[in-house]
Structure 1
Amino acid sequence: MSITSDLIRGHTETIILAQLMLKDSYGYEINKSILDKTDNQYELKEATLYSAFRRLEQMGYIISYWGDETTGARRRYYTITPAGKMAYERNKADWDEAKAVIDALI
């Protein structure tokens, strides 16, 4: 079964922040991690991913920087800020609360 985007819509930024809580990363690596964690059931579209990066950067939740790869194309890495960590914790708590209500109803 494939996860429909309707179930996850509105949580894209939190998913990205969760990945960045673990380590600095770049777009392809974040998307690959999402695919791996969901057993290939969910993938962020590239446009969705990079739009979310821009929003998160504008909100001050992440900062981007260029990697210093010696081979291949340079990668734009993202790191989470203290404000981003706080936003992640808030969003995670909201998700846990909503999940408990939905679990009680379904």
Structure 2
Amino acid sequence: MISGDVIRGTIDLLVLDSVLDEPSYGYAISKRIESRVDGRYEIKETTLNSAMRRLERAGVLESYKDTSAAGRPRTYYRIAEAGREFYWQRRAEWLATVEIVSQFIREEGSSR
């Protein structure tokens, strides 16, 4: 299981990627994230909700009310137009971060 501390700075990227192709609601977003990583990371409901509120305030995520297939009212989230650009910027930033950090990750038994 991946530590929440390690992934904390990338939650926005995970959430935005989860709604990049189609709108979704909170529970489905959390299950999509968990499924994509084969259960190695479980996003907490409070973490997801605060990320979605933060992204809405930033104008990169939009929410709207609709009913589910079962007829229950739900809040759905979709990426805003500004959110697409934000997603691609965060993606580039993450890839650069991985490249930098990988320079400091040693193979087991390596002394460099």
Calculate the TM-score normalised by the size of structure 2. Answer: 0.87
Task: Note if 1:100 corresponds to 2:104.
Answer: no
Instruction: State the 4+ residue runs in structure 1 displaced beyond 4 angstroms.
Output: none
The alignment-based identity, stated in percent, is: 38
Shift in Å at residue 72 of structure 1?
A: 4.7
The secondary structure found in structure 1 opposite 2:62 is strand
Seen in structure 2, the aligned counterparts of structure 1 residues 82 and 104 have a Cα distance that, compared at 3 Å, is same
Task: Note if 1:35 corresponds to 2:34.
Answer: yes
Counterparts of 1:1-80 in structure 2, within 5 Å, are 2-69=1-68, 71-80=70-79
Shift in Å at residue 12 of structure 1?
A: 0.8
Query: Where in structure 2 are there 5+ consecutive unaligned residues?
Result: 106-112
Shift in Å at residue 41 of structure 1?
A: 1.3
Map Cα deviations across residues 28-81 of structure 1 (whole Å, 9 max, x no partner).
101101111111111111111111111111110011011223635311100101
Structure number with the higher helix fraction is 1
Partner Cα separation in structure 2 for residue 67 and residue 43 of structure 1 = 26
Partner Cα separation in structure 1 for residue 54 and residue 88 of structure 2 = 18
Partner Cα separation in structure 1 for residue 59 and residue 99 of structure 2 = 30
Partner Cα separation in structure 1 for residue 25 and residue 5 of structure 2 = 25
Partner Cα separation in structure 1 for residue 7 and residue 48 of structure 2 = 13
| RMSD between superposed Cα atoms in Å | 1.2
Count of aligned pairs between the two proteins: 105
Shift in Å at residue 22 of structure 1?
A: 2.1
Query: Where in structure 1 are there 5+ consecutive unaligned residues?
Result: none
Partner Cα separation in structure 1 for residue 68 and residue 100 of structure 2 = 46
Seen in structure 2, the aligned counterparts of structure 1 residues 100 and 75 have a Cα distance that, compared at 3 Å, is same
Letter in 2 for 1:67: D
The secondary structure found in structure 1 opposite 2:103 is helix
